[in-house]
Structures are given as C-alpha cells and as structure tokens.
Structure 1
Amino acid sequence: MRAVVYQKPFSVSVDQVPKPTILHPDDVIVKVTTTCICGSDLHMYEGRTAAKPGIIFGHENMGIVDEVGSGVTLLKKDDRVVMPFNVACGRCTNCEEGRTAFCTIVNPGFGYVAMGPYSGGQAEYVRVPFADFNALVLPPGIEHEEDFALLADIFPTGWHGVQLSGFRPGESIVVFGAGPVGLMAAYSAIIRGASDVFVVDRVPERLEKAKEIGAIPIDFSTSDPVDQIINIRGGKEVDRGVDAVGYQAVSGDGKTEQPNVVLEALIRVVRPTGGLGIPGLYVPSDPGAPDSAAAQGYISFPFGKLFEKGLSLGTGQCNVKAYNRYLRDLIISGRAKPSFVVSHNLKLDSAAEAYEKFDKRIDGYTKVLLHP
C-alpha cells in the first residue's frame, strides 16, 4: 500500500510499504478514507521529537472496517469508524477512569511519539488495536466526512483545553494560538456559552477564521496581546485561558522561539482564581530547543505569580474517548460543524507538498485532509 513515510527533518515521501495485517484477535484493519495532517505532525516533521526515519505518519484517521479480528465483538466489516489519536487498551486503571490519553499499557511513558509500536494512518490502510474500545462507529455513507475526521483529535482536543481551564458558561476566555486546535478551543467555548472569546495569533488567515466564528481576534505581532485584551475589557482580565501553542511558541516577530511566552502571558491575563488549560504540546526533550534547559523540557515561568493569583492549571493530552461520541452527536444534530477549519482536501500523493506548505503557513494551508 501507499503511505506517508518520514525520511528526515522537513522531508516525507509517499512510498510503497507492506499492508497491515491482523496481529491480535482484538485488531481490525481499516481502509482509510480520510486522514489529517496535524500541527503535532509538524513537530516530528521538523525533527523536534524522538521520531525516527522510516515511521509512517498520521494519527487522525477514519475509514471503513475492512477486516475484523476473531476477538472483536462490537464492530463488523464495512462499519464507518473514526479512531482517537491516542490508542488505549480500555482495561488499565487510567482507561477505566476515563484517562485514555494516559493508558499505562499502550503508552507507559506518556510520550507523544512513543505511543506503542503502531504505524500511522496517513496510508491506504491502518491496523487498529483494541478495536472495540478505540473505534467510534459513525453513520454510514459519506455525510459529514470532514467534520467526523476532526473527531480523531482536534475537535476533542480543543474541547479538552476549555475543560482543563475550568470554564463555566457565561465566562470569558482567551485562546493563544489560532491553529486548528486553537480554533476548535474557541469554537468549543462559543458552543458552551462563553461571553467573550479572544483568540491570539499573528497569521491573518487564522485570525480571520477566528473572527468568522464570533471570536475577537488579537494580533500579537502588532503589540502585547495581554495589554490589547485588558484594554478591550476596560481594564479587566479574563476568567479562563487556553494554551493551544505549546513548546514552539514564538515572540512577536514570529521567528524567535520563546517556549515560555504563552505561559507568561496566560498568567498575566487570567484573573485571580481563574484557570489555565494547556492542551498545547510540551515535551520532555527537544532536539531543536533554543537553549539547553528547554532541550531537557525545563521551561521558566513565573510560578510565584501563578501562586499569588491562586490560578488553577490543567495540562495533558486529550482523553478523546471522554468527548468524541458526544461531539459526534453534536455534528449529527447540526449543532456543531468543526470543518470550518479545513482548508484543503488532497490526494495522499500530495502529502509532501502539503507538509511543506502547512509547515510554512503559506497559501492558506490551515488544516489539510488527505484522501487515499
């Protein structure tokens, strides 16, 4: 089959690789209909993770069940399914408590790349382990294909960021980063009844998307974003904040990496006893970090001010299964249409060019869906 294979930093190719097979009775093989390029893929693409050349990319996958293992009882051939980006066993303590992003069987080290010996789904087929637990069944057909594809990661992750912040209906919130996850966080806050939603970024197309959904765009390349927000609010801070940027945050020039810049801004802009949700990716080691401390996952930020303001802090990958079936039903009912973030639908063979343009944030590449 064809698959997107990581060659070296800033280089992927579509190669012929062996088609996956059933390795365990709990497996299914899914014929992929849509697979997305995620901002998290760019961390690997840029050589900023432990990803090794030769791996197949792709953790946002949906398709049609093609083969079913003998131990699978809930799924059947030809079911239309979408899978969480974080594979989970469904049986360990964390899974039983709904913390599927921290499955101690599949993902004992909790690392983004080290999520078990599984090939990605930017390919014609993908093997899904623990399939009864991991695969979410969708209505048959092709309706809502773009929307459902976003249930694999970014819609639940955006929702999770808002949840981590402790948000309550009627509160104000700021989201740093207007990439796909940041836009999903803003959209989730709007769906959940936020009074004001601010979105901070510097890319015009992203800020325009934020404005289109009813958020207030803040361009941090023009001046300090915290000052802008507090000025708009007549001197008041916001109730909640979400970091949808992570460890490759940049200063106002858009080029200089400053891993702590978003964390510092959130601590300044959120009111005393407010909350911070941090779904943006931070890693314990970064080969391309701007300094030796950040290379080992150490980031300096004003913890004293965090303590003084009594801020709560929630972090970590999204427990997709805690949200995805409910978000699926919001889509089916017409209450949510997350596909507004999708900029391109491309054939799998266009992956190399799509990665390059998405990484450079050019030609309007904001969210790319690949179709094998």
Structure 2
Amino acid sequence: MTTSIVGGKFMRALMFRGPMDLEWEDVETPRILDPRDALVRPLAVARCDLDPAIAIGLYPMKGPFVMGHEMVGEIVGLGEAVAGFKPGDRVIVPFQLSCSACDPCKRGLTNACSEVASGTAFGLGPHGGVDLGGALAECVRVPWADVMLISLPDNVDPITAAGIPDNVSDGYRCVAGPLRERPESDVLVVGGLAPSVGLYAVMAAVGLGARSVVYVDDDAERLGLASSLGAEVVDARGSWTELRLDRKFPIVVDANVLDAGRNLAFRSVEPCGTVTSVSGGASAMSSLPLQKMYNKGVRYEIGRVHAVATARTVLNLVTNGTLDPARLVSSVVPFSEAVAGMTASGTKVVFVNDLT
C-alpha cells in the first residue's frame, strides 16, 4: 500500500533558467511512480560550492531545472516496497542516485551506479544525467528510497546535517583514504573555488589525527575559519604563482580548482604522494605538469565523492563529535529568500523551508 500525505497538483520550486536568472515557479508536484519511491519535503538545503558558480554562469549550464541537491527532509510519502521508514521520519538524501545493488555500488563506487545515466543527481537537471528535480522545492521524489535514505538521529539538527549529502562527505573522502594509508601524516589543503569542501577537508584531517594541517587561500574569511579548525594558514593573496611552501606533503587536497592553485598543489606534494582534486576545474587543464608528475610518482585522484557509500560514515563522525559541520555555516536563509541567497557571500549558506 502506498502512503502519501502530499496534496495539490502544483508546488513551488526554485528554477534556474540561465545565468542570474533564478525564480520561484509553480511546477508539477512529484508523485510516487515506483513501489520503492519516497516523497520527501525538504527541511534544510545547503548551498553546494557548485551552486553559486552555476547561478552566475561561471560553470555553464543550460536551464530550466530546479536547483538544490544537499538536502535533509521529512518523509511525506512512501511506496509500498519501502521498509524501515515511515511518514514523518527525518532523513538525509545523498545527492547522487545509486541503486546499491549493481557491481560498482556493491564495491562502494556509488557515483558510478550502472543502473542510471552517468552522474545522475538531484538539482542539476539533465546535466546530472536524469532530471530528478531539485531540493529547493516543496517536495522531492527519491527513487530506491529503501537504500538511498539515511535516518537523521534526533540529536542532529537538520541545519548541521544539510551538507552531508555532498560537500561534507567530499571533504572527508579527500583525506580519509590517504590518512588510512599513511596515518598521522601532514596534510595540505589548497582552498579556493570549492570553499566549503576545502574547509571540511581541514576539519576531517584534524579530526582523523593528521600530524599537521596547512591551509592556503587568498580569502580572509576562509583563512580565519581554517585557523579556528586547527590548521596553520598561509595567505596566498598576490603570490599564487610564486608561492613555495617550506616543506612537501604526502597528502594534498586541491579545492582551488584554478590553474595557479592546482599547480601549487603539485609543487607541494612529496614524491609518491597523493593529490586529490574536488572538481574538474574552472579553467582548462592543459597546464597539468604531467612530466613532472610522472617523474615524481604523483598519484592524482579526481572525481565526485561516492555519496551514498560515504554519507553514513560521515554522519557517524558528526554524531560522535569528530566533525561539526555547523561551524562552517555562515548564514541560514529562508527558502523565500533563496534567489538572493544563492549568490550571497559566505562559505556555507543553508536554506530552510518556510514555504510549507
């Protein structure tokens, strides 16, 4: 038996139509299409680092599509095959769609689920594979809900957990694997256009026992946040190209995603060390120093976080106090003000649902 408490044929959703062209519009309310579907009413939606870049046209995408993909919500409808949940439960919704049954998913490579189009995710329209709608709306349909949804403990606030579906998990995975291989290592994080991911990487590295964490950026607010998290900070304003650090690092995170920051990451990694980039970059990657990387034996990792496989571990670290994503929340903005909030200053904006 399908359970649903959703009413009305239409709902409000934040539609992206082009650069600096965002507007709340009436769209068709999603409904349960499969016995394994759930309908979720978003409670708190974190602004992903990618969202402002989409909104201003730095990361070119063609609209229209509904924005928002870092979501904590409340179940308002369930397909008859979804066990372990009930209407009213608060849940985290990882941003990628993953079946958890195909070979890649069973191996923990949930970003590479073979049962959906590559990259299928909420809040990115057809650019994310299949258009699933977005979290900045009154309701979202979640396929494969029995394996996609993660129960939110009563003692974790939705605002604190809102970034776990993507950016918090992304920052964590950048350092967790390398620190498992080389415990108590020194970690370098190069900050920039992925502002919260870089700082979540700092938070995770400190929490997971890195010997030291160095954070490089040219933004005063982020440098201050990194320092408060326990990192040694280096101000790179006006000196990205010439900057040389006083030591090499076995673990490096590139959250800058521009050539100058990425090249600093490669200059600063020690022989046979690991550099992890959190984005394909906002500029061409023709400047990759491949011969130097080859000679140095650099392991270069790039790609999306495996969100479904990672988010539960991250939630456990939040629950036990190792990670505290709320420390990076710069402002809490109602859905009704999300058009302005999408491009507002601040490291991590969280939108809260005031529509329903």
Task: State the TM bucket, normalised to the shorter chain.
Answer: 0.7 to 0.9
Letter in structure 1 aligned against 2:276: G
Say whether residues 1:120 and 2:134 are aligned partners.
yes
In 2, Cα distance between equivalents of 1:329 and 1:307: 38
| 160-169 vs 84-93, greater mean Cα deviation | 160-169
Equivalent position of 1:186 in the other structure: 202
| Deviates further, 214-223 or 56-65 | 214-223
Secondary structure at 1:366 match in 2:
coil
AA matched with 2:279: L
> Residues 114 and 50 from structure 1, CA distance in 2 versus in 1: closer, same or farther, beyond 3 angstroms?
farther
Q: Which residue of 2 aligns with 1:254?
A: none
Q: Could you tell me whether the CA contact under 8 Å between 2:133 and 2:140 is conserved in 1?
A: yes
**In the alignment, structure 1 residue 75 sits paired with structure 2 residue 73:** no
In the alignment, does 2:217 pair up with 1:209? no
Q: What secondary structure is seen at the aligned counterpart in 1 of 2:163?
A: helix
The answer on 1:370 being equivalent to 2:330 is no
Percentage identity across aligned positions? 29
Letter in 1 for 2:315: R
Partner of residue 269, structure 1: 268
- Displacement of 1:49: 4.7
Does residue 241 (structure 1) correspond to residue 252 (structure 2)? The answer is yes
CA spacing shift, 1:43–1:224, aligned 2, 3 Å = closer
Q: How does 1:14-29 map to 2 (within 5 A)?
A: 14-29=24-39
Is residue 94 from structure 1 mapped to residue 92 from structure 2 by the alignment? Answer: no
Shift in alpha-carbon separation, 1:165–1:222, aligned structure 2, 3 A: farther
Conserved 8 A contact 2:90-2:151 = yes
- Equivalent residue runs for 1:1-372 within 5 Å: 1-49=11-59, 51-108=61-118, 113-140=127-154, 143-163=156-176, 165=178, 168-177=182-191, 179-224=195-240, 227-230=243-246, 236-246=247-257, 249=258, 260-278=259-277, 280-282=278-280, 294=284, 298-357=285-344, 362=345, 365-372=346-353
Amino acid at match of 2:148: N
Q: What is the CA-CA distance between 1:54 and the residue it aligns to?
A: 1.9
8 Å CA contact 2:13–2:136 kept in 1: the answer is: yes
Q: Which amino acid aligns with 2:342?
A: Y
Cα deviation code 1:253-289 (max 9, x no counterpart):
xxxxxxx3233211210111111112x2217xxxxx7
Structure 1 gap segments, 5+ residues each = 231-235, 250-259, 284-288
Indicate if the aligned counterparts of 1:177 and 1:243 stay in contact, CA closer than 8 A.
Answer: yes
Normalization by structure 1: what TM-score?
Answer: 0.84
Q: C-alpha separation between the residues in 1 aligned to 2:151 and 2:240?
A: 45
5+ residue gaps, structure 2, are 1-10
Post-superposition shift, 1:188? 0.6
SS of 1:4's equivalent in the other structure is: strand
Task: Indicate the SS of the match to 2:46.
Answer: strand
In angstroms, what is the RMSD of aligned CA positions?
A: 2.1
Give the TM-score, by structure 2 length.
Answer: 0.88
